Amino acid sequence: MIAERPPMGWNSWDCYGASVNEEQLLGNARFMADHLKKYGYEYVVNDIQWYEPTAESTAYHRYADLCMDEYSRLIPAVERFPSSAGGKGFGPIADEIHSMGLKYGIHIMRGVPRQAVHRGTGTVTEGVSARDIASSSFCAWNTDMYGVDADAPGAAAYYDSLFGLYASWGVDFVKVDDIACVKSTPDDPYSARREIELISAAVKKCGREMVVSLSPGPARVADAAHLKKHANMWRMSDDMWDEPVHLRNMFDYCSVWQGIGEKGAWPDCDMLPLGRIALYENGGRDSRLTRAQQDAMMRLWCVFRSPLIIGGDLPSTDDETLALLTDSACLDMQKNGSDVKEVFSSDERRVWETTVGGVKKTVEFDLNAIFRS
């Protein structure tokens, strides 16, 4: 089963934004192979805009010219991923990551490239252009894409062709964005449900096992059954950064979503902003969370059984952060916990229980101490 346990790995967003390149990606993969693989971390995920040659931070270049093939499918920017030249796509990078005993993931936006729609370029379906399958839905925070009209002739075939391409590259994990909560439709934040179904179907047809991760949150508990049917993980909140208020809010998200995760389908607390992050800003910064807050974050993610996706730059990880990420007792809860529940909740204190190896464990959080200014 895919994601029988909550996935564990690393994602490039917190440290590189949209700007990660091949050298940086593989450098993080090597660190994972050398220091984290034995603890269960395995996915190396290349986040947003790998198809944008000039991406440089978390600030997107509006209406940038994107790298695209003749079927309106985005492809890696050779300027940042030189091994993709000659139509190889991410195949060479995936091969190298697989040779380390790890798995490779990519980020995509839902829909079809805006430039393909404007140009009327073709798709894999003869006589069907990108314009024919586009919907009026759009992303509120990024200009790269239009949504896909799931009922348009050729729409399903377009998504099938995307995931067929990713399978040919050797992709093991796909993070799909602007889909679990569509910001441009606040009255119906789950308005992309039909696109989720097309993606789920395309993954099943592509011939390769892939984890499907949906972003951003907040997802709605009312949609849990649909999410569990069509995805392996989905974001409970909007982006989690190294802000104490984000961590404080996560205690409430976990309370609401408790008891819903199961084999193959996991509510996601988002990436762990630990270590060195935001390298695109004057060399970056260390996580602004205190050590007590970092410890609480790790314990909450693990007792709740959230996916563990590290956000910091791995090669610059300090010993204390590495010890936190590899704490065996904490990771045992994340991998093997059962009967997980919050047994006490107040403004000052939270208490969770889990059973690991037949032994009941209690995890207490003193919120006043954790968030003491």
State how far the Cα of 189 lies from the Cα of 240, in Å rounded to an integer: 19
Angle at 165 between CA 161 and CA 171, to 5 degrees: 130
Q: What is the CATH number of domain 8-337?
A: 3.20.20.70
The answer, as to whether pTM is greater than 0.75, is yes
Q: How many CB atoms lie within 10 A of CB 230?
A: 19
State how far the Cα of 79 lies from the Cα of 70, in Å rounded to an integer: 19
Quick: pLDDT tens for 221-247. 999 999 999 999 999 999 999 999 999
The answer to whether 309 and 9 are in contact (CB under 8 A) is: yes
pLDDT above 80 (res 37): yes
In the chain, what are the domain boundaries? 8-337
- Nearest Cα neighbor of 93 from 24, 3, 11 is 24
State how far the Cα of 50 lies from the Cα of 53, in Å rounded to an integer: 8
Quick: pLDDT tens for 256-304. 999 999 999 999 999 999 999 999 999 999 999 999 999 999 999 999 9
Quick one: pLDDT at residue 351? Answer: 98
Quick: pLDDT tens for 72-87. 999 999 999 999 999 9
What contacts 265, CB < 8 A, 6 or more positions away? Answer: 3, 227, 228, 231, 232, 233
Q: Residue 364: how many CA atoms within 13 Å on its side-chain side?
A: 5
What contacts 87, CB < 8 A, 6 or more positions away? Answer: none
Percent of the chain beyond pLDDT 70?
A: 100
pLDDT above 90 (res 372): no
pLDDT above 70 (res 373): no
